[in-house]
Chain A
Amino acid sequence: MEQAPSPAQEQPGAAVPHLPEPPRLTNMLNPLAEPMLPEPYRVLKRIRETGDTFTLTLAPVQGEQGFHFAPGQFNMLYVFGVGEVPISISGDPDRPEKLVHTVRAVGAVSRAICGLEKGDVLGVRGPFGTPWPVAKAPGQDVLVIAGGLGLAPLRPAVYHLLARRAEYGNLELIYGARTPEDMVYRRELERWRGRFDFRVHVTVDTALGDWLGNVGVVPNLISRARFDPVQTMALICGPGVMMRFTVQELLNRGLKMENIYLSMERNMKCGLGLCGHCQLGPFFVCKDGPVFPYDRLRDWFLMREV
């Protein structure tokens, strides 16, 4: 096997290549954690959201420390002997005693996570990634726009906004799913819809005749939302096609690119910006994202080969 030349073998006076700084192996919210070592967590509760989607409530096997995170961040969940996947944290950031994840069974690892029962143990690394910039939103209208399981990473942002409701202008949630049976957090959506200070719009792509709600696509509901485009922040997560058309509609309505935030999904392995699996143009989604302002992401978001 060919070996790289050692420094002693290098020609004297040869230019030393400029290498990027190695990423810091820490995270803001949990600087003491060893980022590559999963902490064991036990399943306290498992709720079936839809036919293939489950919400797990977890607690650390050892210790009573809470799990502190910012809305929009994710963890790497490890099913021992099966593998590890990145999953958004979907619980309440103001209630760190419970770690909540909503998982859809789409591959070997996520199927194994969905198959865990109360009392089972899995590994947790995190939290990783950039959060929704809810701290910058006070004084503004906020549009939360989710498609399918995209509501999971947005739910902590909704909790955050509702817990500080007086600080914001109009709050609107637009949520779309394929059918009424595919909606996640249905009881919570109904509860939110019952509030006088939060407008919730729900739509599905198709439904049978007994559905009394809306049928149509998410971008079409934006015309029903009330917001001042100059002072509005939009937080979007969902399938790529949905996000693309939603962004276009928001720009048509006068929102600034820098006030539109997207959460991107990529195949991740390390969660630390080391392995490169989640590269999106010049970004690593795991450490530069998953939440990006649209003006930063735009060129790469619209490039179909990336």
Chain B
Amino acid sequence: METLEPVLAAHPFLQGLDPRHLKVIGECASRVDFKAGQFLFRGQEEATQFFLINQGQVALEIFSARRGPIIIQSLREGDAVGWLWFPKPYHWHYDARAISLSRATALDVKGLMQRCEQDHLLGYEMMKRYAHLLAVQFRVTILQLVDIYGK
């Protein structure tokens, strides 16, 4: 049976994780491909998986009835998509669409949460990574909000 531990270990989101924890996460992982234009998930759907991108480009979008889909961020290999799975209410807040053929590792949210509850060291490691993503995203969002190119 194919093991995903080497793929997981190579992804920046999980870099430096204890091999024991990688093995546990590997039990919740599967490989997924998305063709250009295919949605990884859509807003309001239940968050059952989140994704570590291994290849390709994914756009996070918010749909506006007047303007159509508005891209708010591009993500590429090495990025994590869908980190809002962690807190309640466990559903997606926006759409994620593959811009080009994209390959990712999908992590089962329920399985991962169960394992984090059982092993708090793993939970802490995941929480540290989650906090880092949040901090980066917070900084990026502020820069986008201030409209630095405005007159």
Contact = CB atoms under 8 A, between A and B. Distances in A.
Interface of A: 106, 147-148, 176-178, 182, 203, 205-209, 211-217, 219-220, 238-239, 241-242, 245
Contact of B151 (A106, A206, A241): A106
B69 interface: yes
A5 to B, nearest CB: 48
Given A205-B149, A215-B72, A241-B143, 8 more contacts: A178-B147, A178-B150, A205-B144, A205-B147, A206-B71, A208-B68, A216-B73, A217-B144
Nearest to B97: A209
Contact of A245 (B67, B69, B72, B143): B143
Given A148-B149, A219-B143, A241-B143, A208 B72 contact: no
B149 A208 contact: no
B140 interface: yes
Main secondary structure of the interface of B (DSSP, over half): mixed
A213 B70 CA distance: 13
B74 interface: yes
A241 B74 contact: no
A215 B69 CA distance: 13
A217 B71 contact: no
Contacts of A176: 149
Contact of B69 (A148, A178, A203, A209): A209
Interface residues of B, number: 25
23 contacts: A147-B149, A177-B149, A178-B149, A182-B149, A205-B148, A205-B149, A206-B70, A208-B69, A209-B59, A209-B68, A209-B69, A209-B71, A211-B71, A212-B99, A214-B74, A216-B74, A216-B140, A219-B143, A220-B136, A220-B140, A238-B148, A241-B146, A245-B143
A258 B65 CA distance: 49
Contacts of A216: 73-74, 140
A245 B140 CA distance: 10
A207 B59 CA distance: 10
B148 A239 contact: yes
B140 A241 contact: no
B143 A207 contact: no
Nearest to B64: A208
B143 A209 contact: no
A215 B59 contact: yes
A209 B61 contact: yes
B71 A215 contact: yes
Interface in B82-125: 97, 99-100
A147 B148 contact: yes
A205 B74 CA distance: 10
B98 to A, nearest CB: 11
Given A106-B151, A147-B148, A239-B148, A208 B140 contact: no
